[in-house]
Amino acid sequence: MFFETIMTPRRAIRGVVLTIFLASFPGVAEAQIDCASVPAGPDRTDCYLALSQFYRAQSDLAAAKARAQSDAAWYRAITGTDPPRTEPPRHKPHRRK
């Protein structure tokens, strides 16, 4: 099994997070994470912790998207035009001395 080959909890978390990340893209992987199938112990705990972090991040992203849509709707209702689009800040290259 996958978790029996991992030596440290930190590597287990990385493995679970990577697996969840890849599973979030339907074209990349078709895997379902089932922490109950992991033997009881630290690996199972790490699996549940990683799933919790993943679902919290997913929830935060959905909330931010809904907030942005709500703000845009208010702007449109008040001004009658679409809100201005802002570009993300550009990275300034570091100057070498």
Q: Supply the DSSP string of 16-43, one letter for each residue.
A: HHHHHHHHTSTTT------GGGSPTTHH
Contact present, 23 and 31 (Cβ < 8 Å): yes
Which of 11, 16, 18 lies closest to 47, judged by CA? 16
Query: Tens-of-pLDDT digits for all 97 residues of the chain?
Result: 444 444 456 666 666 666 666 666 655 444 567 888 888 999 999 999 999 998 999 999 999 999 999 999 999 999 988 888 877 777 777 777 6
Give a yes or no: residue 2 inside a domain: no
What's the total number of domains in the chain?
A: 1
Q: Which residues form the domain of 51?
A: 45-80
Give a yes or no: residue 70 inside a domain: yes
Give a yes or no: residue 72 inside a domain: yes
Give a yes or no: residue 4 inside a domain: no
* pLDDT given for residue 28 in this prediction: 46
DSSP structural state of residue 1: -
Residues 6 or more apart whose Cβ sits within 8 Å of residue 54: 17, 20, 24
Give a yes or no: residue 27 inside a domain: no
Model's pTM, two decimal places? Answer: 0.50
Give a yes or no: residue 23 inside a domain: no
Give a yes or no: residue 66 inside a domain: yes
